[in-house]
Structure 1
Amino acid sequence: MRTVLYANNQLSSYLRRNFVLCWQSERPVPVVTIDFGDGRVVKRTITGNAAHYVMDHHGNLLDVVPGIYGANAFQRVISGSLRLWSQLQNVSDFKREIIIETYHKVRLKNIRKSWSKDLRTLGIFANVNLKPSRESLAVRAAIRTKSKRGIELPVIRSVQVRKRSAQVHKITTLREKTSQNVWQQIARLHYRDAKLDRGSRSVIEWQNPIQITASKALVESPVARLIRSFEKSLAEDTMRNEYEFHAKIHQWFCDGEAQKGFGYMNERVFREIFLTPANKPLIDLGEAYTGLLGDGLNN
């Protein structure tokens, strides 16, 4: 996050102008230590993940951006959240709910459309109905009668589960068409979104001074190869996080789940999106037999 997003000159300026950033740790991140026995030791984190929660000044959730994104793609996503926030000024609570739900419906539709387009570009058939669904006549009638909104509208919407499950089915169809190899091909279509700017590259170079010194006589430095490899991985992470995981979060907003608050959504994001629930301290890493005393755990 720090290297890709906050070190990016354009994005960091945009964030400072428009957002108040607040950091909170969800759970300790596992750190693996590899001792080569000759004095060399490698320490690195595993299964670490983070999400950006976009909230208004009352703490109401507007969007959740899961995982790592390239700076260009990330700015596009949060600029949409900023426009959503501006639409919510001086509106009633009821209208606010409708505006937020509509925003996420449109976003979900756009993801399906872009994902389908990418698959067609790659010659992969993925035919899903992308026509936007309209609110039923019953819903529109209930909205017009203020006294009935609180009683009738939740009941009417509860019987529309099948329509919403159809939206989920469309995403599932796209996901089934997208293998690991296809994700890599999609990433190549959007490689520009993952390009690191001078600010981010400087951070990586600062973190790898030995490789820079050792490579002065080489045509391409190890750091340059490292950056290029990282950009490829970042492009894939960006597209998968947006198409697969952000789509699921948009659906949660459409279903009114975000109204249950930050705590509920945060727990669900880490449990269902990142697969690292807070109630599993070992994240299933201790479920395989190692042949070591106490499974190699040092308490």
Structure 2
Amino acid sequence: MTTSRPDQPAAPYVLPDGPRTASRYDFLLGGKDNLHDDRASAEALTKAFPDIGTAVHELRRYMHRAVRYLVAEAGVRQLIDIGVGIPKPPNVHDLAHRYAPGTRIVYVDHDPIVMAHARALLTPGEGCAPIDYLEADLRNPHDILTSPALRSLDHDQPVGLLILAVLHFIPDDEHPADLVRALLDGLPPGSHVAISHTTFDPLPAEVRAKLDALPPGRHGTFQARTFDQVAALVDGLDLVPPGLVPISHWRPDLNRDGDELAEPAKAAGYAVIARTPPGTRHPARSSRNTGPAQRTAQPVSTPQPQEARP
């Protein structure tokens, strides 16, 4: 992928005449808001990795657990969801408002079709806090942080930043760790970031070979990352227990459906929630000049759970 010059707009990581990442994800989840190219891409990925259906459902289940932790346990009352995707209940606001109706939500996505769906379908229930919508690109943190949607938040209170199943679409030459840090630097102290990211680490060699052989021009930009590469995205932050782990192993006690844990080789992802220290801004640090996060990073204490609404 060619990196654009500063005077040029960033190249899209959704193909203009091919599959849309959100619509392909919708198809893999059993949705209907997808087109032929989306389905063809999903079917090619499934042929290379037959457990991809399990993987996308684990990404979705982690979103449920992450929102529950942030709102019901950590007491966060402001969430920014970057990479909204095609709406599929329960969505972030449905879950957040279940635990705290006053939670403010800002939905962000760079895809105008996704945002049209969001504005039409992602609406708060009666008595719940309003929702803001922002069409913006993760790769332009300044545009997100200075938007009217974010100015409406309380900048004296922590924010929960959700970057779920998005960063694996950002290649190394666009410095995803710097993007995460830039966003956190613009948020109040004590803010959290929840990340989920695809990995090939637990996959058999033959499956990795098939996935690596897929022509990128037909499926959009994609980069699976190793444990250490994902850890670098949260380097210097306090990791919420259990830290960076296979996605199905992040706080499975928060599952509401009672399903068994998916094997790491089927889930093919990592999950982590990290927090900036309260009372201080997270120091801006370049991922190009720092090493990966320590596996034994000091965990933060977990607040006592709050009573959830039925």
Question: Which TM-score applies when normalising by structure 2?
Answer: 0.22
More helix by share: 1
Compare CA radii of gyration and give the structure with the larger one: 1
TM-score (norm 1): 0.23
